A = this chain, B = another copy of it.
Amino acid sequence: MPEPITDITGYMNGVGARARAASRALARAGTAAKDEALLAIAADLDANREQLIRENEKDLESGVRKGLDAALLDRLELTPGRIDGMIEGLRQIAALPDPVGGISDLKYRPSGIQVGRMRVPLGVVGIIYESRPNVTADAAALCLKSGNATVLRGGSEAFHSNQAIAAGVRRGLEQAGLPADAVQVVATTDRAAVGALITMPEFVDVIIPRGGRSLIERISNEARVPVIKHLDGICHLYIDDEADLEKALQVAFNAKTQRYGTCNTLETLLVAEDIAETVLPELGGMYREKGVELRGCETTRRLLPYAVAATDEDWDTEYLAPILSIRVVKDLDEALDHINRHSSRHTESIITENYTRARRFLREVDSSSVMVNASTRFADGFEYGLGAEIGISTDKFHARGPVGLEGLTSLKFIVLGDGHIRT
């Protein structure tokens, strides 16, 4: 552990001021310099694998001493495979197109001026995350490529791992001639640092918290700067009575069982009553064989006697586990009504061959991703072609759904004239 920092406010103000200064240089930095830095960071991490693992072991040992549970220790560990993943991620982001400076919609107006919009960085991005140290490299890379300076505040349990990664990031930035302060990892585990980071609008333009619901809610409640936040993923799939049976079975099974712990995993299945007898017994059997606990409404339980009774709470629960709630509804309207009431506005899908109902579902479901005949598991920055994602926003303001490089930028207006004046 380094010397403890006692004046947290003073320290964080220094971090903020340096980030703001670095953000100006970074906004002007060319694509080549940013990509060079990303590749230099990747090479640095690759060359220092042993040191990364040594520092990570300090965190793991202290985690064991503190009695962290197995899941947390697993997330904390930097395995060789995870280091490969960080390095590969940096290289992938270097290969993505640079969004900054792109000009769109440049059009002549009747006055003779030409008006367009130029994509620009947001400025300084604050990232608050918990145990996974690989977030340090991933988040820094996305912010760097999008021309933003970053202040990263990782979990105290990953302190040594994060500082080791941060040192590699600094060396890579310097090698490319970019300011080392463009990426700063907060060097204190004092929780007051988080409070300072989220209340410095003069230095920080947006906060992205990555972690559990309680972390995100606390930060949203206390922040004095905009927050790109991702709360629950209570995702729904509605099997319409005009569904293709084979698609319904495949998609409903995949959406629940392909991975249990992700935010785009199906949590509530809605089935139109006219097709329930056809689809539920077979689908229920597939889930049962896979070991998924089913919690159903009354009709569901008539068709699937092994399903337990769903309570009111089930319709508002993100299980992140092999549990699925199932409700039989009258029709699309009742499905939309259920979704409007219980969805966390993350991702919903309809299985139908009916053109009008597909169009209605797309228009009327107010979620960040709305799908027809596709698994909710596709709601992901890579699957959508964003190249990478820094998070998934369940808000509507600024960014919605998976947030990639573009979500870390804004658009300014540019006007080209030839001495034009307003009359």
Beta-carbon contact of B115 and A422 below 8 Å: no
Beta-carbon contact of A368 and B412 below 8 Å: yes
For residue A38, CB closer than 8 A to chain B, the reply is: no
Q: Give the distance in Å from the alpha carbon of A418 to the alpha carbon of B378 in the complex.
A: 13
**In the complex, chain B residues whose CB is within 8 Å of the CB of A118:** 362-363, 370
| 0 or 1 for each of A118-138: is its CB under 8 Å from B? (1 = yes) | 101011000000000000000
Q: Give the distance in Å from the alpha carbon of A59 to the alpha carbon of B127 in the complex.
A: 50
B-contacting residues, A91-105, CB 8 Å: 101
Residue of chain B at shortest CB distance from A122: B396
For residue A71, CB closer than 8 A to chain B, the reply is: no
For residue A401, CB closer than 8 A to chain B, the reply is: yes
Interface centre among A27, A253, A378, A418 (most CB of B within 10 A): A378
| Minimum distance in angstroms from A109 CB to a CB of chain B | 6
For residue A398, CB closer than 8 A to chain B, the reply is: yes
| 0 or 1 for each of A247-281: is its CB under 8 Å from B? (1 = yes) | 10011011100100000000000000000000000
Q: Give the distance in Å from the alpha carbon of A214 to the alpha carbon of B120 in the complex.
A: 29
B-contacting residues, A345-387, CB 8 Å: 349, 351, 362-364, 366-375, 377-379, 383-385
Q: Give the distance in Å from the alpha carbon of A223 to the alpha carbon of B246 in the complex.
A: 49
For residue A9, CB closer than 8 A to chain B, the reply is: no
For residue A338, CB closer than 8 A to chain B, the reply is: no
Beta-carbon contact of B258 and A421 below 8 Å: yes
Question: With A251-B421, A378-B113, A383-B422 as given contacts, are A367 and B412 in contact (CB-CB < 8 Å)?
Answer: yes
For residue A205, CB closer than 8 A to chain B, the reply is: yes
